[in-house]
Amino acid sequence: MQRFMYKYGWSYAFVLPSMATFTIFVLFPVLWAFVISFQDYSIVRGGTWVEPWYDNYVRAFTQQRGVFVIAIRNTLYYSFFTVVANIFIGLALASLIQPLANWLRTFYRSAYYLPAVTSAIVIGMTWSYIFNAQWGFANWLIGLFGFPPVRWLSDPNLALSSVTLSAVLTMPATAVVLFSAAMGSVPREYYEAAELDGAGPVQRWWNITLPLIKSTTLYLTVLYTIASFEVFERIYVMAPSGVGNSTQTIVMQIYQNAFHQFKFGIASAQAFVLFVMVAVLAVIQFRGLRSDVEY
C-alpha cells in the first residue's frame, strides 16, 4: 500500500478536488433524491417513509388527473422533432460548408456556434416576442400573405408546436461544429479512390461520409435527446402558464411539484422516472448507431 501511494499518490491528489466536488454537489444530491423519492419529505420536519414504498411513484402518475402522463407525452413529442431536426439540419449545414476554403469553414463554424453561447432565457424571450399574437414578427409575416393572426403561444392546440418550432429553427450549433470536424478528419484517400471508381458527390457522401461519422451522429443524438428531455427554460419563458397543460413537460412537472407545491417525494420520483426514460433511450440509440469503424 505504501509503495502504491508513493507511486500513484500525486495522481490521486490532482484529481481529488474534482472528485470531491462531484461527490458533494452531484453524487450525494442524486443519492439523497433517490432516498427522498420513497418518503413524504418536508424541509421543516424531515422525511417519513411512505407505505407502500412505491406510493410516490404511483402518485406521480395519478395526481392532478394524470398531468404527468400528459407531460411525458409532450416531452416525447418535443424531443422527437427537435432531435431529428437538429441532426439533419446540422448534418446538412456541415456538408455544405465542408468543401469551402479553410478560412471560410472557420468563419461559418464560429457563426453557427453563436447560439450555443447565448442564454436560453434570451433565446426564449426572443421567440416569445416573435410569436406574440398582437405585434409579433410571425403574425406580421403571415399577414403579408393575407392570413389572419394566429395565437401561437395561447392556443392549446398550437402552443407546444410553436415552442417546438422555435427549437427547430434555432441553429443546432454543436451539431454543425462537430459534424464539420468529423467530416474533416475522414481520410481524403477514400474519396479519391471512390472518385476514380466513378462515384459522384452524392454517392461519396452517402457511402463514405455518413458511415465514417456514425460515432459523431451517435454522440449528438444522445446529447440532443438528453437536452430535449430536460427542456425547461424555453417552456418557462415562452408559455409559463402551461396553456391548459398543453405545454407541460417532465421537468416543468418536477419544478412545480418541488418548488410550488413542496411535494419533494413526488418530484424526486418523477426525476427518477425521467432518468430511467433517458437511460433506456440512450441504450437503444447506442445499440442502433454504434459503429466499429476506425480510421
Q: What is the pLDDT of residue 91?
A: 93
- Tens of pLDDT along 168-201? 988 888 899 999 989 988 888 888 888 888 888 8
The closest alpha carbon to 251, from 100, 75, 80, 126, belongs to 75
Q: Which pTM value belongs to this model? A: 0.89
19 in a domain, yes or no?
Answer: no
Q: Flag whether 49 is in a domain.
A: no
> In whole angstroms, what is the distance from residue 229 CA to residue 245 CA?
17
- Asked whether residue 79 is domain-assigned, the answer is yes
The predicted structure's pLDDT at residue 289:
77
Domain that holds residue 227: 67-289
d(CA 271, CA 34): 9
| C-alpha separations of 160 from 45, 144, 281, 291 in Å | 38, 25, 22, 35
The DSSP annotation for 107-153 comes to HHHHHHHGGGGS-HHHHHHHHHHHT-TTT-HHHHHHHTTTPPP--TT
Q: What is the CATH number of the domain that holds 250?
A: 1.10.3720.10
Asked if residue 91 is part of any domain, the answer here is yes
Percent of residues, the chain, with pLDDT higher than 70 = 97
Name residues of the chain where pLDDT drops below 50: 295
What pLDDT is stored for residue 292 in this prediction?
61
Whether 112 is in a domain gets the answer yes
Look at residue 43 in the predicted model and tell me its pLDDT: 77
Query: How many domains does the chain divide into?
Result: 1
Under 8 Å between Cβ of 226 and 278? yes
Asked, for residue 59, whether it belongs to a domain, the answer is no
Closest to 175 (Cα-Cα) out of 110, 210, 102, 224:
224
**6 located within any domain:** no
Query: Does some domain include residue 9?
Result: no
Can you give the pLDDT at residue 80?
95
